[in-house]
């Protein structure tokens, strides 16, 4: 099993550009999430999904969209990149439909918006 695969690992965007961060898992996990990690602020939840076709907002959803058309994939879209979105982004998945089991994290995407 590959676990949770995130692409790309690094990305530089110009302000106003859009892009999609890809996340795929091969563990048949129902629960998937996107977090951003900034120095001194821990891991903050952007969006999460309890199963295919179901998504919900986390604590910092503005400027991001998600969709969950399959169990395996959970892409994160930046609509119009801003310097404040410079961060490390982690995708994570877990067994079951709720927040009842530990996460498996992807390796992260380091995004810089200039």
Binding positions for another protein, rule: CB under 8 A = 33, 35, 40-45, 48, 50, 56, 58-59, 90, 97-108
Residue 3 in contact with residue 23, Cβ under 8 Å? no
Q: Cα separation of 41 and 36, whole Å? A: 9
Distance CA 62, CA 96 (A): 27
Closest CB to another protein among residues 14, 39: 39
Minimum Å gap between C-beta 14 and another protein is 26
- CB-nearer residue toward another protein: 17 or 65: 65
Please identify, using beta-carbon distances, which residue of 58 and 63 lies nearer to another protein: 58
Q: How far is the CB of 48 from another protein (least distance, A)?
A: 6
Beta strands, E only, the chain: 4-7, 10-13, 19-25, 31-38, 42-51, 54-57, 64-66, 76-78, 87-94, 104-105, 109-113
Query: Minimum distance between the CB of residue 78 and another protein, rounded to whole angstroms?
Result: 20
- Residue closer to another protein, measured from CB, 17 or 108: 108
Residue 18 corresponds to which tokens in the numbers above?
């859009």
CB of 79 to another protein, least distance (A): 22
């Amino acid at each position: 099993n590959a676990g949770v695969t995130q692409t790309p690992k690094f990305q530089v965007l110009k302000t106003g550009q859009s892009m999609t961060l890809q996340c795929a898992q091969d563990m048949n996990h129902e629960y998937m999430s996107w977090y951003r990690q900034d120095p001194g602020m821990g891991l903050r939840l952007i969006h999460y999904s309890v199963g295919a076709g179901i998504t919900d907002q986390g604590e910092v959803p503005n400027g991001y969209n998600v969709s969950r058309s399959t169990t395996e994939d959970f892409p994160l879209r930046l609509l119009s990149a801003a310097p404040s979105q410079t961060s490390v982004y982690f995708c994570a998945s877990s067994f079951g439909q709720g927040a009842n089991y530990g996460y498996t994290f992807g390796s992260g995407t380091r995004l810089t918006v200039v």
